[in-house]
Amino acid sequence: MRSLVLGVLLCALPSMLNAACFMTQTTGKTHCWDSADKTWYAAGYNWRNRDCMECSCISRPSKNIKSEMSCCHAYPTGITIPDDCVSEFDQKTCKHIIHKKDDPSTECGIISAVG
C-alpha cells in the first residue's frame, strides 16, 4: 500500500511543478483587468491575451471579495524535443514550431510536454 501511495505522489509531482496557471484578485467587482492587454473584461468572459494566456474573469458576489482572474498558458510548457531539432515560439499562433537545426523546412515532433 505504501508503494502505491508513493507511486501516485511521484506521478502527480511533475504536473504540479510545471503548473502554468495562476489566479489573482482584480481591482473591480464585476470586471477583471488584464495587465498584458491593458483591457477590462466582464465577469464570465473568457479570452486569450497577447502573452498567450487563456484567461477567464470570475465574479465572487457571495464572498466579500473582488473579481478573480484565472489564466493558464495556451501552449505546452516543459517541452522535450530531439537533439537535432530546435524550437521557436510563434507569439501570433501561441505554438512551438519545431524543426531540424540544419533544415528549417523539416518539422520535428515533441517527445514530451506539459499542458
25-70 per-position pLDDT tens digit = 877 788 999 999 999 999 999 999 999 999 999 987 666 667 899 9
Cell matching residue 100: 531540424
68-115 per-position pLDDT tens digit = 999 999 988 888 999 999 999 999 999 999 999 999 999 998 888 776
Flag whether the pTM goes above 0.75. Answer: no
Domains and CATH numbers, the chain: 20-73 (2.10.70), 77-114 (2.20.25.590)
